[in-house]
Amino acid sequence: MKRLNVVVKPGSKKPGIEKDGDMWIVRVRERPVDNQANVAVIEAIAKEFGVPKSRVSIVRGESSRIKTVLIQVS
């Protein structure tokens, strides 16, 4: 398992992921309405690490811009 500290930037014009020290910055187009930004963060991280979305979960900070994300890797 891999644990990431993530800062989410919702409503970004240019989505993407970058690493800044020990934090990951995830920019998504979706707004934090009806869990849309969290879903987009999970999709972006799954794509970046080449794992299915079902193996990525937010374990802390669901309603915050700073999140802890858990990736189950085999």
Considering its fold, how many domains does the chain have in total?
1
Q: Which structural domain, as residue segments, surrounds residue 47?
A: 2-71
* 37-52 pLDDT, tens digit each: 999 999 999 999 999 9
What does the block give as tokens for 14?
A: 């240019």
The answer to whether residues 50 and 56 touch, using CB atoms and an 8 Å cutoff, is no
What does the block give as tokens for 4?
A: 């990431």
Residue 41, domain CATH: 3.30.1200.10
Instruction: For the chain of 74 residues, list the mean pLDDT of each consecutive stretch of 10.
Output: 96 96 97 95 96 97 97 86
Q: What is the pLDDT of residue 74?
A: 72
> pTM of the entire structure?
0.93
DSSP 5-45: EEEEETT-SS-EEEEETTEEEEE-SS-SSTTHHHHHHHHHH
